[in-house]
Amino acid sequence: MPQRIARRLRNHDWIGALIELAIVVAGILIALQVSNWNQDRSDTRRKHAYLSRIVADLDTDLQVNGNRDRFLAQVRAYGEQALAHAETGALVEGSAWKTVLAYFQAGQFYAYSRESNTFAEMRDAGDLGLIAEPRVRSQLAFYYESNTNLLADSMIMNLVPQYRQDIRSVTPIPVQDYIWTHCFQLLPGSARDQRMVDCPAPIDEAHARAILASYAQFPELARELRFWLSSQRISSLTTPEDRRDATQLKARLEAELR
């Protein structure tokens, strides 16, 4: 094509040269448009793949949020029973064994984290720009990276109480083994569904009362348990906010996918 244009120019065929040049320019523009169109399609596919995975991650977060809330409600109930015994000597349903169980289960803990691998992959690849709407990008960044959420997750949601260590240090190992085997469930799946279940007594009441007497030798248990119950109360206040943030973000991303 360049040779043909040059030949026409040498022959002073100005109109023919212009026509040849116009054909070349049109071909270049069409090729660029097709390339841009293909790139747009590729970007759209990548964006949809990312957002679909993040929506699935948010579904997991919502399930974990619900499972954790239910589990910690059980922990708090056990903690209140154990604290009532520490303060007044009241047995749970008149049973020394159920009171021992309440002391131990009150020290359970549920680790909390956001399912953030897809967002991190998208961010590290420099692909957040695939989302054209700035408010959606800001909402994503707030959910996964805001200092408010990071501090709450590390300092409130994942506080491991001293009570947990101390109650386990004074509870006989055979009793602990029995509780893990018969009074606790960890269901399969990605949502980390932990549950505490009713279980028959593995020891007689005299043995259970002896264990309660050993707990009484450590008055710090009651103090640590009060702190743990107070911390759980604060944690429970942030749970609805996390659920709201995840639900709103999921709705925005589903709108993007549509």
Q: For 231-258, how does the pLDDT look when each residue is reduced to its tens digit (9 = 90+)?
A: 988 888 888 888 999 999 999 999 888 8
**pLDDT classification of 82: cutoffs 50, 70, 90:** very high
183-210 exposure pattern, b = at least 16 Cβ within 10 A, e = fewer:
beeeeeeebbbbebeeeeebbeeeebbe
Is residue 155 packed enough to be buried (19+ CB in 10 Å), middle (13-18) or exposed (0-12)? exposed
3-state secondary structure 89-156: CCCECCEHHHHHHHHHHCCCCCCCCCCCHHHHHHHHCCCHHHCCCHHHHHHHHHHHHCHHHHHHHHHH
Listed range (35-49, 80-94, 116-130, 137-151) with the worst mean pLDDT: 35-49
Name the DSSP class of 38.
Answer: H
Supply the pLDDT for residue 258: 81
Least Cα distance to 108 among 185, 172, 220 occurs for: 185
**Rounded Cα–Cα distance for residues 256 and 122 (Å):** 16
Supply the pLDDT for residue 123: 92
Q: For 217-228, how does the pLDDT look when each residue is reduced to its tens digit (9 = 90+)?
A: 999 999 999 999
Supply the pLDDT for residue 149: 75
Supply the pLDDT for residue 93: 96
**Rounded Cα–Cα distance for residues 218 and 167 (Å):** 9
Q: Where in the sequence is the domain holding 89, given as residue range(s)?
A: 2-257
Supply the pLDDT for residue 23: 63
Please indicate, yes or no, whether the overall pTM of this predicted structure exceeds 0.85.
no
Query: Per the structure, how many domains does the chain have?
Result: 1
Supply the pLDDT for residue 189: 77
